[in-house]
Chain A
């Protein structure tokens, strides 16, 4: 069966084995958009986080059938991700996040960082200047390397970046 998906501003028509196939595996195994990561498959670790209609969600818990007609942003599209409030011609929040991540040398093994970045992007959609509690509450991604301190610093840096 065919599904039309809007991913990072591009339309992909994919044949998936079933409507309940998780978006995660359609991205990874069929479209080879491998930046979105498999960690647990049970929406606990959040490594597979993407934006669906601008809201962070776990792609292992979103079926391909339910993603039709929605706007999907993955880590591959983060560089072009912009908040509604981002000034035309100025850097978008996606680019600010990526730069803040590198400036703070946040990743170690890096495997969970796609999900971290997309979760942070979703946080900024809802809260342009997140407070400490907002960050703590939103960022439930599991990082076995323990990059949290630098991730937090990077989010704060992105919050004030111009």
Chain B
């Protein structure tokens, strides 16, 4: 049986060339550009990045890339950098996942931004070593040698040696510490729409996602949690027909389970190693267990969206805030205001709803304790965190653990978490055989770590001449950071306020503060995190201000950007203008029955503006029942687009994600139970409902920034602003159409 494997290199040296059996492996470590600080994660301030390049005597050129491939194109983007400096043709390069011991986190749209310099330097260092090896062999100066398309050419004699031929000698040379990089103007691969390396297998069934892992002799298992949030397992249920055993499972943080463990099990794995069993057979068997095995929390009635909403509204007025950003004196400005605008926006909890449900496959060696090794096949955004989890659950040293990062059928921030990993490892340790553990879709939806609900109030003071004199924004939401630490917050949570702070507009005084909403609902990082939540409020408010002033929303934004001294103001203005131009905002007439809305936002250093052109459908009573987004014009400035093909894809993806969420996305709680259990209650935009998206990429030359998430934030306010023009209705509470369902 073909197991899903990658090259196993568990003891990669980070500082030097390693001679391997055929050819060599370059491992070069350089400081990396600081990623956005994800609270309480293992991203040290002065992190280093390692790039691995393997050149085989068979002429194979393999770039090993860490993080995780979830569709964002990280395997392609970073490899393009190494290939550029190696001066090889793009088609010559193969990409493999990097072993977890040297891997990193895919989050914060930082994959390419923070790692590309490392891959460029590694490629250049490898090239210089190959050139030096050739020069030595020919007895000529390196300046007489030219690296081209995987060979080194002697410019005097026209002799040629291939990289594969040179690899063994190159491996013995010292590693250049300051390799000479190719000037950007000479790039042949970076900046081109290079074909993604991971796509052909995605068209013929050979791409291996986590859920596709197959290990000899593996059992199948499904996870069941208490349908009520916070419920625990009262007793391990008996084994139903068509199953082999039941394993009690604990929260990831409780492992390893010892005699002093006080945490209670919160789930069980229903396992089968019967011949020819299926995951579906287990889903059916779970129905025989039923719901009588759970302890429902006594306060379950309070786990209710109505209660949460009233708590948040109450905190809005009298909570104790942390100041996130302050400038000038807002109180003075409001005291002398000619006019005050006061707008409150609310957003619901949202599940990630990755197409691939959570799953993990584990093999312990030997199959029963005492164990000496552990292998984990996981769809994960954080291979190195999986390694840490495996070490904690098994008690094994990290050197005894191998992580095989599998493709992800979407990550979206959910596959950064460790709950499903710990469950699969604990199950394998208990049952004495390898196991593939799957979360049925209903579990994936009901036990997510949700995008936090949020209530955010924006107050604006205007003077008699219609100038904005102060901007106040209070944001109330559960804190992602606080749920991941054992001590209370002592300052604002940037995950909550990002996108509300550091606005590029000319607001002479401003105060942005944050009130933590203590909520028992687990919250997590959802594509673009706080940016999408806050961009909705900020950019809707901008439209409301323009309307109150009686000027166009485009004029207001231009005015506030032109007069701003913010370092991002000029770039933001250029992006707004580009989106407006792409949409034909000032040059074309909007078709009858349609309207355009605009919004702009910065996320993770990338600035995106979107113009949505929409129409609405009304029922006989004149009530709007639907809207159609016909077109979206998108402009993006990510400094430099490494792969315009991927940047465009990420903008399209972000727009769809934000569109579906704004239109229908909502997960409500009733007595601790989630309203969404499957896609039939979580409607997504389908092909026939798709806008035509036109993306304009601005290569401003600013510092490179990511594109996986920044496409999401502006679409919801752009739609809401167009919707107001058509209907006169300001939608301040998302989604537009609650309670949507989706049929087959």
- Assembly CA distance A148 to B742 (angstroms): 17
User: Knowing A110-B207, A140-B687, A152-B687 touch, does A44 contact B744 (C-beta < 8 A)?
Assistant: yes
Contact of B203 (CB < 8 Å), options: A17, A98, A142, A143: A98
Residue of A nearest to B283 (CB): A41
Cβ–Cβ contact A34 & B211, under 8 A: yes
Contacts known (A38-B357, A107-B71, A144-B354); A25 close to B280, Cβ less than 8 A? yes
Knowing A39-B355, A39-B441, A102-B199 are in contact, say whether A109-B70 is a contact too (CB < 8 A).
yes
Are A140 and B652 in contact (CB-based, < 8 A)? no
Decide yes or no whether A66 CB sits under 8 A from chain B. no
Name B646-678 residues within 8 Å CB distance of A.
649, 652-657, 678
Are A149 and B690 interface neighbours, CB within 8 A?
A: yes
The answer to whether A142 touches B686 (Cβ under 8 A) is yes
Q: Shortest Cβ distance from A133 into chain B, in angstroms? A: 8
Pick the contact of B278 from A21, A43, A97, A107 — CB < 8 Å? A21
B10 adjacent to chain A (CB < 8 Å)? no
Identify B409's interface contact among A22, A111, A136, CB under 8 A: A111
> For residue A136, which residues in chain B have a CB less than 8 angstroms away from its CB?
687-688
Q: Of residues A106, A145, A150, which shows the largest number of chain B Cβ atoms within 10 Å of its Cβ?
A: A145
A105 within 8 A of B: yes
Q: Are B653 and A147 within 8 A (Cβ)?
A: yes
Q: Which of A39, A45, A105 has most B Cβ within 10 Å?
A: A105
| Contact pick for A109, options B277, B355, B357, CB 8 Å | B355
Kindly name the residue among A26, A45, A137 whose own CB sees the greatest number of chain B CB atoms within 10 A.
A45
Shortest Cβ gap from B407 to chain A (Å): 7
Identify which of residues 21-40 in chain A touch chain B, using a CB-to-CB cut-off of 8 Å. Answer: 21-22, 24-26, 28-30, 32-40
Which chain B residues numbered 178 to 214 have a C-beta less than 8 Å away from chain A? Answer: 193, 195-196, 198-200, 202-209, 211-212, 214
Contact A43:B687 (CB < 8 A) given known A17-B242, A24-B280, A146-B656: no
A44 pairs with B208, CB closer than 8 A: no
Contacting pair B204 A15 (CB below 8 A): no
A97 and chain B: residue at smallest CB distance: B203
Residue contact B679 to A44, C-beta cutoff 8 Å: yes
Query: A16 to B690, alpha carbons, bound, how many Å?
Result: 40
Annotate A52-95 by CB proximity to B: 1 below 8 A, 0 otherwise: 00000010010000000000001110110000000000000000
For the complex, what is the distance from the CA of A28 to the CA of B410, rounded to whole Å?
Answer: 19
The interface bits of chain A over 1-30 (1 if a CB of B lies within 8 angstroms of the residue's CB, else 0) are: 000000000000011111001101110111
Contact with A along B672-700 (1 / 0, CB 8 A): 00000011100011111010110000000
Query: Please, which residues of chain B bring their CB within 8 A of the CB of A111?
Result: 209, 354-356, 409-410
For B679, list chain A residues within 8 Å (CB).
39-40, 42, 44-45, 142
Contacts of B275 in A (CB 8 A): 15
- A108 and B72 contacting across the interface, CB-CB below 8 Å: yes
Query: Within 8 Å CB of B204, what residues of A?
Result: 35, 75-76, 78-79, 98
Residue of B nearest to A118 (CB): B205
Find A105's partner among B199, B242, B680 (CB 8 Å cutoff). Answer: B199
User: How long is the Cα–Cα vector from A128 to B264 in the complex, in angstroms?
Assistant: 59
What size tier do the contact residues of chain A reach? 35 or more
Task: Give the A-B contact count at a CB cut-off of 8 A.
Answer: 213
**How distant is B493 from chain A, measured CB to nearest CB, in Å?**
27
The answer to whether A137 and B688 have CB atoms under 8 Å apart is yes
B171 part of interface (Cβ distance < 8 Å): no
- 8 Å CB contacts to A: which residues of B404-432? 407-412
Instruction: Give Cα distance in the complex from A97 to B70, angstroms.
Output: 23
- Assess whether A46 is in contact with B744, with CB atoms less than 8 Å apart: yes
**Cα separation A139 to B71 with both chains bound (whole Å):** 21
B610 to chain A, nearest CB (A): 13
In the complex, the answer to whether B277 meets A29 with C-beta atoms within 8 Å is yes
- Report if A51 contacts B (CB, 8 A): no
> Is residue B295 contacting chain A, with contact meaning CB distance below 8 A?
no
Q: In the complex, which residues of chain B have a beta carbon less than 8 angstroms from the beta carbon of A34? A: 205, 208, 211-212, 214
B276 at the interface (CB under 8 A from A): yes
Contact indicator B440/A41 (Cβ below 8 Å)? yes
Q: In the assembled complex, how far is the CB of residue B558 from the closest CB belonging to chain A, in whole angstroms?
A: 29
A112's contact among B73, B355, B411, by CB below 8 Å, is which? B355
CA gap between A148 and B692 in the complex, in Å? 10
User: Which of chain B's residues have a CB closer than 8 A to the CB of A117?
Assistant: 203
* B678 with A35: CB separation less than 8 A: no
The distance from the CB of B643 to the nearest CB of chain A, in whole angstroms, is 10
A40 and B441 contacting across the interface, CB-CB below 8 Å: yes
Query: Which residues on B sit within 8 Å (CB–CB) of A137?
Result: 688
Q: Is the CB of B276 within 8 A of A36?
A: no
* Docked pose: A13 CA to B680 CA in angstroms: 34
A74 to chain B, nearest CB (A): 7
- Over the window 384-413 of chain B, the binary record of Cβ atoms lying under 8 Å from chain A Cβ atoms (1 yes, 0 no) is 000000000000000000000001111110
What are the 10 tightest A-B residue pairs by CB atom distance, in nearest-first order? A35-B205, A146-B656, A111-B409, A109-B71, A110-B202, A136-B688, A108-B71, A25-B278, A75-B205, A34-B212
Residues of chain B having any CB pair with chain A under 8 Å: 1, 70-73, 193, 195-196, 198-200, 202-209, 211-212, 214, 220, 242, 274-281, 283, 353-357, 407-412, 440-441, 645, 649, 652-657, 678-680, 684-688, 690, 692-693, 742-744
21 contacts between A and B (CB under 8 A): A16-B278, A21-B280, A28-B212, A29-B278, A36-B205, A38-B211, A38-B357, A41-B678, A75-B205, A102-B195, A107-B71, A110-B207, A110-B409, A111-B354, A112-B355, A140-B686, A142-B686, A144-B354, A146-B690, A149-B693, A151-B687
4 additional A-B pairs beyond A38-B357, A42-B679, A101-B203, beta carbons within 8 Å, are A32-B214, A33-B205, A102-B203, A147-B653
